[in-house]
């Protein structure tokens, strides 16, 4: 089984026939039922997050030396932190993402979306580079109070980091990616050491530099790449249902669509934990020290929780029971911001291009990483009167 290319049929088969399954190729224990995934996330005492940011493809020694020379490290800070320091570090970031601060970003999100939509000339466009790629990074930096950032460079750093830690690159490719990751980490270290203001870098100036840089590294990668992925997944899903697209501008529909896509096609498709002691999940004994791969995507289509799980149903009353943002003490700090961005961008796009449609009914190429999966392209025809052989 190729864990980098799992589809909905694979997830269904695992959930129904092998809900707790040891993958012989990787040694990972795949956990796919909603109840089990939720139980693991809810119990940090028995399931530790230490492996959350460990490279799934082992990094060879020469590549590790590239990272070491740059002082690169990812100590326990947020997603990979099961220690007593987690709450305080999380609190520093949470102060930038309060509900009030998130709501205050709505005008900026709408303005950025309109600027990008107005720049589309068509007749065919790809919403990934044109709309979804950079907008979440700009919004996240605004939320953190950070300015003077080269956005294309940040995106290059972050996509390289995702591939290095969650992809299956060759040793040669790992060496190239490590150079980019090292450069990003060094940039973060310099910015944090020079910070004097009240932005995220400034707030972290009293935190040990190793921890501060590690926290920012993960936050500035995952905090915007996953929203880019969510935007692409939302557009790919809603544009396949013409009746639903026609209702996006109705009150609450955009928000409901976003929630259903998060349930059915979450950008973060899997996450990892380590069993701290022997446990039993769905009747299967799991040994202490086992590395678990929690199938977040599969859990969102569990019929025990969501009737007709494969159907995109924005009126679904329990859609928010999904685990796309995790659960418990490590629940995603940026969940509210991601939800707002996706709903605002979706609604602005519907208003600007009401007859927007996919350029092809074929499924797009997908980002195929262990824990991140989303369309790499959303090619659309902008206006109804354009009849193209696309």
* Residues ≥6 apart with Cβ < 8 Å to 335: 325
Residue 366 has φ and ψ, to the nearest 5°, of: -115, 145
What does the DSSP assignment read for 354-378?
Answer: TT-EES-SSPPPB---SSB--BS--
Domain of 208, CATH number, reads: 1.10.630.10
Whose structure tokens read 């029971």?
A: 321
Q: pLDDT at position 384, please? A: 74
Edge-to-edge strands of the sheet including 379-381? 124-126, 379-381, 357-358
The predicted pLDDT at position 387 comes to 54
pLDDT computed for residue 390 by the predictor:
41
Q: List average pLDDT for each run of 10 residues in the chain, which is 390 residues long.
A: 90 96 96 98 98 96 96 96 97 98 98 98 95 98 97 98 97 98 98 95 96 97 98 98 96 97 97 98 98 97 96 93 97 98 98 97 94 97 66
- Whether 389 is covered by a domain: the verdict is no
Does the residue 387 lie in any domain?
Answer: no
Tell me whether residue 390 is in a domain: no
Report phi then psi at 296, rounded to 5: -60, -40
Q: What was the pLDDT predicted at 315?
A: 87
| Domain assignment of residue 366, yes or no | yes
* pLDDT of 385: 66
Contact present, 109 and 135 (Cβ < 8 Å): yes
Q: How far apart are CA 124 and CA 122, in angstroms?
A: 4
Q: In Å, how far from its chain's centre is CA 347?
A: 21
Which residues have CB under 8 Å from 254's CB, separation 6+? 248, 342, 343, 344, 346, 347, 350
**What pLDDT score was predicted for residue 388?**
47
Show Cβ contacts of residue 52 under 8 Å, excluding neighbours closer than 6 positions. Answer: 79, 80, 271, 272, 273
Please state the domain count of the chain. Answer: 1
3 state SS of 187: helix
Confirm whether 79 is domain-assigned.
Answer: no
What is the Cα–Cα distance from 237 to 335, expressed in whole angstroms?
20
Q: Report the pLDDT value the prediction gives residue 252, as an integer from 0 to 100.
A: 96
| pLDDT for the residue numbered 40 | 98
In a domain, 329, yes or no: yes
**Domain presence at residue 3:** no
Check residue 386 and give its pLDDT: 54
DSSP codes, 290-332: PEEEEEHHHHTT-TTTSSSTTS--TT-TTGGG--TT--GGG--
Q: Is residue 92 part of a domain?
A: yes
Q: pTM to 2 decimals? A: 0.96
Nearest to 154 by CA among 190, 184, 189, 192: 184
Q: Which residue range forms the structural domain that includes residue 303? A: 8-74+84-381
């Amino acid at each position: 089984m190729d864990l980098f290319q799992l589809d909905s049929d694979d997830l269904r088969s695992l959930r129904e026939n092998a809900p707790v399954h040891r993958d012989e190729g990787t040694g990972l224990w795949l956990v796919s039922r909603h109840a089990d995934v939720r139980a693991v996330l809810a119990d940090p005492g028995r399931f530790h997050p230490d492996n959350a940011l460990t490279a799934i493809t082992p990094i060879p020694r020469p590549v590790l030396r590239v990272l070491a020379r740059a002082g690169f490290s990812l100590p326990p800070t947020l997603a990979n932190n099961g220690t007593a320091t987690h709450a305080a570090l999380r609190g520093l970031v949470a102060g930038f993402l309060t509900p009030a601060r998130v709501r205050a970003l709505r005008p900026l999100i709408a303005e950025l979306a309109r600027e990008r939509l107005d720049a589309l000339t068509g007749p065919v466009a790809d919403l990934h580079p044109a709309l979804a790629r950079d907008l979440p990074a700009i919004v996240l930096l605004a939320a953190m109070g950070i300015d003077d950032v080269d956005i294309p460079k940040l995106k290059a750093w972050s996509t390289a980091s995702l591939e290095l830690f969650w992809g299956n690159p060759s040793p040669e490719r790992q060496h190239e990616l490590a150079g980019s990751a090292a450069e990003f980490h060094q940039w973060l270290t310099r910015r944090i050491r020079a910070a004097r203001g009240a932005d995220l870098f400034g707030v972290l100036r009293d935190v040990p530099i190793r921890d501060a840089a590690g926290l920012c590294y993960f936050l500035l990668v995952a905090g915007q790449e996953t929203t880019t992925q969510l935007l692409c997944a939302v557009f790919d899903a809603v544009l396949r249902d013409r009746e639903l697209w026609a209702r996006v501008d109705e009150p609450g529909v955009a928000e409901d669509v976003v929630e259903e896509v998060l349930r059915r096609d979450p950008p973060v498709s899997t996450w990892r934990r380590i069993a701290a002691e022997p446990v039993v999940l769905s009747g299967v004994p799991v040994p202490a020290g086992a590395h678990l791969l929690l199938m977040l995507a599969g859990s969102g289509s569990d019929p025990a929780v969501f009737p007709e799980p494969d159907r995109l149903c924005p009126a679904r009353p329990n859609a928010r029971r999904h685990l796309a943002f995790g659960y418990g003490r490590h629940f995603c700090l940026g969940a509210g911001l991601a939800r707002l961005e996706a709903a605002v961008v979706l609604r602005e796009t519907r208003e600007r291009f009401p007859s927007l449609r996919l350029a092809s009914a074929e499924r797009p190429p997908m980002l195929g990483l262990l824990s991140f999966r989303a369309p790499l392209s959303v090619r659309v025809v902008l206006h109804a009167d354009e009849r193209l052989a696309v």
